[in-house]
């Protein structure tokens, strides 16, 4: 009796903590969405009246929309590539011991240590002067993959450590091919790490600004657009875009998880 009430209390405490945590994460987002309906062009308090003007402005500005699609394209490609590269590198780092592992471990987190400005400028010199290749969204993706892969590698490695290998061995004993072992045993077990890594890569890439500027061809991305308004300032047009993007992601996510859970129910 005593135990269950105590468990209940712990449960309630953690729930409250969780809700507070989400509030902390979401309060600024709600506020910035709120500003997209505010007449004030400074994107801040006080509230000076309701308007949909910023949404009209947004749809009238093809370049902002283009910049947004460029950002999204780069972020999706970056997260795909860096997740694959980072995940397959995590296996030897977690499971094998070999010479120079110490040195490699430090090399692999070096891109996190060097500020983006230096990475961006060195890549610009490398692509433009040394290799003489045209800058494009592809060179941006390369730049982003360089600095996001270490994040993926580290998360997946952390996940793989203390991984229960008996399961893999059991699968092999039961006659599973290495591929099937990976597909049905290993991957489901490491997938939270892979998902976390992919989310990191996507998020970091979406907001990256300085490496992008130095490695991009005749295009712009959304962060470049935002930072380029230094002289006269950004308008809540960007808040409107952020609001739509946020709503869109929520919608897609909920649909995705809803169908997933429906399918799970159908199977059981």
Q: Which is nearer to other proteins, 162 or 175 (CB)?
A: 162
**Between 101-113 and 62-95, two packed helices, what is the crossing angle to 10 degrees?**
160
- Of residues 209 through 268, those in contact with other proteins by CB under 8 A are 213-214, 216-220, 222-234, 238-239, 242-243, 245-246, 249-250, 253-254, 257, 261, 264
- Residues 143-172 contacting other proteins, CB under 8 A: 143, 145-146, 149, 151, 153-155, 157-159, 161-166, 168-169
Least distance (Å) from other proteins to the CB of residue 175? Answer: 18
User: Phi and psi of 115, rounded to 5°?
Assistant: -60, 145
Given 8, 9, 23, 104, the residue binding other proteins (CB under 8 A): 104
Closest to other proteins by CB, 74 vs 243, is 243
Q: Which of residues 19-38 bind other proteins (CB under 8 A)?
A: 21-22, 24-29, 31-32, 35
Cα–Cα distances in angstroms (integers) from residue 81 to residues 21, 78, 180, 240, in the given order: 31, 5, 23, 30
Shortest reach from residue 208's CB to other proteins, in Å: 9
Is residue 176 within 8 A of residue 186, CB to CB? The reply is: no
> What is the rounded distance in angstroms from the CA atom of residue 232 to the CA atom of residue 42?
10
Residue 55 as a binder of other proteins (CB under 8 A): the answer is: no
Query: What is the chain's Cα-based Rg?
Result: 23
Residues 112, 100 contacting (CB under 8 angstroms): no
Which of residues 80 and 245 has its CB atom nearest to other proteins in the complex? 245
- The CB-of-182 to other proteins minimum distance in angstroms stands at 11
Answer yes or no whether residue 183 interacts with other proteins by CB under 8 A: no
Q: Which of 54, 79, 83, 93 binds other proteins (CB under 8 A)?
A: 93
Q: Provide CB contacts within 8 A for 189, sequence distance 6+.
A: 163, 164, 167
- How far apart are alpha carbons 261 and 248 in whole angstroms? 20
**Should residue 195 be labelled a site residue for other proteins when binding is judged by CB under 8 A?**
yes
Least CB distance to other proteins at residue 56 (A): 10
Q: Closer to other proteins by CB, 94 or 176: give it.
A: 94
Sign of the CA dihedral 152, 158, 163, 169? positive
């Amino acid at each position: 009796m005593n135990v269950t009430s105590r468990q209940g209390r712990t449960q309630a405490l953690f729930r409250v903590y969780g809700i507070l945590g989400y509030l902390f994460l979401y309060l600024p987002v709600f506020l910035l969405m709120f500003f997209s309906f505010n007449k004030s062009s400074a994107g801040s308090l006080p509230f000076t009246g309701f308007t949909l003007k910023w949404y009209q402005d947004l749809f009238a500005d093809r370049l902002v929309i283009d910049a947004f699609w460029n950002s999204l394209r780069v972020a999706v490609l970056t997260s795909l590539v860096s997740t694959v590269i980072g995940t397959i590198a995590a296996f030897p780092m977690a499971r094998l011991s070999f010479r120079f592992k110490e040195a490699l471990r430090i090399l692999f987190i070096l891109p996190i240590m060097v500020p983006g400005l230096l990475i961006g400028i060195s890549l610009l010199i490398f692509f433009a002067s040394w290799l003489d290749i045209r800058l494009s969204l592809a060179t941006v993706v390369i730049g982003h993959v360089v600095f996001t892969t270490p994040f993926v590698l580290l998360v997946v490695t952390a996940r793989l450590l203390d991984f229960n290998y008996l399961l893999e061995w059991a699968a092999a004993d039961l006659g599973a091919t290495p591929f099937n072992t990976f597909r049905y045993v290993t991957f489901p077990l490491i997938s939270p790490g892979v998902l976390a890594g992919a989310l990191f890569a996507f998020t970091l890439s979406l907001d990256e600004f300085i490496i992008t500027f130095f490695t991009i061809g005749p295009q712009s991305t959304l962060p470049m657009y935002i930072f380029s308004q230094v002289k006269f300032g950004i308008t809540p047009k960007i808040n409107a875009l952020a609001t739509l993007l946020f709503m869109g992601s929520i919608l897609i996510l909920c649909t995705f998880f809803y169908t997933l859970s429906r399918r799970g129910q159908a199977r059981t």
